């Protein structure tokens, strides 16, 4: 690297283990394109999503290959899937990769809620270090599912 002390792994899908109380021995991959939906988000009955609960009020969508497919399914059902402008970024420091990811994801979820949205889509995940202390950097966009065509928040 050219004098830079950061460790970059942007293309790698990072993993964290779901708490045993939710799903024992289960790993989930965190990376670009991952969609998290609040468990309280309304979903049309005609749209079937396979999802994994993460124990903090949000589920990871596993039944669709990407956000475009989910958006198409919602549009076909007469619903809207909003993409909010403005990237949300967060970092978490620590030596435990799993807890860094969990802390960063919780921060992202809190920021999405302040925008009155019920989904988020991960744009990038990178593991780096600063002065020898590792940290994770995650960027995402808030998304929102609702029946109306005009955004009204939760």
Q: Where are the domains of the chain?
A: 14-146
Strand partners, 48: none
What letter does residue 22 receive in the DSSP assignment?
A: T
Residue 115: C-alpha distances to residues 49, 60, 145 (Å): 24, 19, 13
pLDDT at 54: 54
| 30/119: higher pLDDT | 119
Query: Is it the case that residue 20 has pLDDT exceeding 80?
Result: no
Which band of pLDDT confidence, cut at 50, 70 and 90, is reported for residue 133?
very high
Give this prediction's pTM: 0.73
Nearest alpha-carbon partner for 9 in 153, 134, 133: 134
Start-end of H helices in the chain = 67-76, 97-114
């Amino acid at each position: 690297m050219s004098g830079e002390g950061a460790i970059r792994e942007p293309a790698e899908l990072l993993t964290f283990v779901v708490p045993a109380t939710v799903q024992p021995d289960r790993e989930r991959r965190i990376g670009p394109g991952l969609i998290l939906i609040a468990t309280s988000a309304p979903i049309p009955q005609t749209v079937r999503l396979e999802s994994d609960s993460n124990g903090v009020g949000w589920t990871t969508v596993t039944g669709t290959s990407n956000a475009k497919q989910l958006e198409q399914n919602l549009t076909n059902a007469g619903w809207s899937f909003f993409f909010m402008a403005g990237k949300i970024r967060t970092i978490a420091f620590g030596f435990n990769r799993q807890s860094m990811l969990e802390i960063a994801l919780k921060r992202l979820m809190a920021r999405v809620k302040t925008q009155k949205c019920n989904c988020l889509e991960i744009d990038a995940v990178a593991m780096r270090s600063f002065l020898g202390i590792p940290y994770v950097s995650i960027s995402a966009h808030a998304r929102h599912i609702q029946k109306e065509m005009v955004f009204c928040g939760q």
